[in-house]
């Protein structure tokens, strides 16, 4: 979605590309065990794939993390050797217990428990979260009507020093492109800006009394799939009828 296509409720929700921006390495965060450490603990050796999500998200954040795992399964690189993964909850109310449960879910999905030390699911205080989201250009909002966050989807490739090298929008990330981005980031190279086609996490706009484009898009896809399935079924039945008529005529 481009800026002019957005409902009023999503006007201030976006992801601005801030290539070469430095993440706050001194910002404290809690790991899955509740231990507090500066963000820099998870940087310094390898490029990092960063995901800004919240663990209780009912829709899009799950798809973002699913996309990271899908790419990781195809990548010839191994977490902990060529790159690390850092997920940060932008909901300061979330706890290390929630982060731990989320990590366990995705480690099962990835299927390589030996790489668990390279996957970090963090929670933090409002100030630490704000410093990270501002550095990334990630702007989101809480909606009281739906009791959820409105936000866009992306993952970010960072250099070992914590500088933004590449943005990947959406929920499907090309393993080939991510591998190239990691190679560039490992050499501290900063990539070029990419087209911003934002996918939003938001169900219903109560002010306009209609679904937002993200939810409406899902409904359209589901509807198209239903039509395609029914059309295929009808075609098969017609062909079967035609064959039966031909057999009787013979």
Prediction pTM value = 0.76
Share of the chain above pLDDT 70, in %: 72
Closest CA to 72 of 45, 49, 100: 49
**Calpha distance 76→250 (Å, rounded):** 58
**Calpha distance 47→10 (Å, rounded):** 32
The class that CATH gives domain 3-203 is alpha beta
pLDDT digits (tens, 9 = 90+) for 146-175: 788 888 889 999 999 999 999 999 889 999
pLDDT at residue 190, rounded to an integer: 81
pLDDT at residue 167, rounded to an integer: 95
pLDDT band at 21 (very low <50, low <70, confident <90, very high): very high
**Calpha distance 49→156 (Å, rounded):** 6
Residues 88-116 have a mean pLDDT of: 97
Sequence-distant (6+) residues with CB within 8 A of 70 are 172, 173
**Calpha distance 122→34 (Å, rounded):** 9
């Amino acid at each position: 979605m481009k800026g002019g296509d957005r409902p009023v409720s999503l006007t201030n929700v976006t992801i601005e590309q801030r290539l070469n921006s430095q993440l706050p390495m001194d910002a404290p965060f809690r790991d899955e065990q509740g231990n507090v450490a500066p963000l820099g603990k998870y940087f310094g050796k390898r490029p990092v794939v960063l995901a800004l999500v919240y663990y209780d998200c009912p829709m899009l954040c799950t798809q973002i993390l699913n996309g990271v795992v899908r790419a990781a399964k195809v990548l010839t690189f191994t977490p902990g050797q060529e790159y690390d993964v850092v997920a940060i909850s932008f909901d300061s109310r979330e706890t290390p217990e929630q982060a731990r449960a989320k990590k366990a879910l995705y480690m099962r999905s990835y299927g390589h428990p030996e790489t668990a030390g390279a996957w970090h699911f963090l929670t933090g205080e409002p100030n630490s979260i704000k410093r990270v989201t501002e550095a990334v250009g990630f702007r989101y909002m809480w909606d009281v009507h739906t009791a959820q966050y409105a936000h866009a989807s992306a993952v970010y490739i960072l250099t070992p020093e914590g500088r933004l090298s590449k943005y990947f929008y959406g929920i499907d990330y090309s393993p080939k492109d991510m591998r190239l981005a990691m190679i560039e980031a490992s050499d501290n190279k900063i990539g070029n800006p990419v087209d911003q086609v934002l996918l939003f996490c938001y169900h219903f706009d109560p002010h306009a009394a209609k679904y937002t484009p993200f939810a409406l898009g899902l409904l359209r896809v589901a509807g198209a799939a239903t039509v395609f399935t029914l059309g295929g079924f009808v075609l098969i039945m017609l062909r079967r009828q035609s064959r039966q008529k031909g057999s009787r005529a013979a």
